[in-house]
Structure 1
Amino acid sequence: MRAHNGRVVAVAAESRPDPGACHADFTLLKSLLGQLTCVMLHAPGDGSGWCWSARDVRGRTLAVSPRAYERYSTCQTAYERFVSLLADTTTDDAGDPATRPAAGKAPRRPDGPPGSPGQ
């Protein structure tokens, strides 16, 4: 999941085989918004930093932080931003990631990259 500025705010806890399955998981995550629990743990590896995970009532991890945060409070704020962004995002906003350009990049035109001759 990306913020409006293109920064990655969360990633799925498990990979999915196609965009349709990703969209279904996003729809599920959105429907469970009021039931998610934040679990904060030391980052894997050397344990420096903090990571968050969003879990449902059965304890399944559905989304995780995209990186480790140096401070516990910063990690907690990042989770709160994720929840806020999730609440403000519609399932239509998620779209098919295969058809959207990466943040900050113009879509490729059929007749060549932006700024090429003939455009």
Structure 2
Amino acid sequence: MVAITAAAFETPGEAERCFDGLRVGAAGLTARITHVREGIGWVWVVPGSRALPEVRSSRAYERYATCQNAFRRFVALLAKQPPRELPGSTAPLRRVDGR
């Protein structure tokens, strides 16, 4: 796992569109690198709307420079991804009532 998102998606298509938006905008992504509140290490966060991260590192890194390099690798991986065909199915990933 390279990164995670704070967003919860109702359909696979929504998740795919979000990923595609990240992939297309990979060259322009910038990250904040912050020290973790509890524990030791650094995480990178791409700020999004409503004070929620668009995407963030999946783990904390011991060194600041290692965290910077991990973000650069994430951007490089995104840029290499080919365009995806969005699935036609709109079946929910989870039930709306939370079950």
Q: TM-score range by the shorter chain?
A: 0.7 to 0.9
User: What is the aligned length?
Assistant: 87
8 Å CA contact 2:24–2:79 kept in 1: the answer is no
Instruction: Identify which of 22, 25, 29 aligns with 2:15.
Output: 22
Report sequence identity in percent. Answer: 36
TM-score computed with the length of structure 1 as normaliser: 0.62
After the TM superposition, which segments of 4 or more aligned residues of structure 1 sit over 2 Å from their partners? none
| Alignment match, 1:49 | 41
| Alignment match, 1:69 | 61
Q: Shift in Å at residue 74 of structure 1? A: 0.9
Supply the RMSD in Å over aligned alpha carbons.
2.6
Q: Which runs of 5+ in 2 are unaligned?
A: 88-99
Q: Which of structures 1 and 2 has the larger relative contact order (alpha carbons within 8 angstroms, sep 6+)?
A: 2
TM-score computed with the length of structure 2 as normaliser: 0.73
Distance 2:36 2:22 in 1: 23
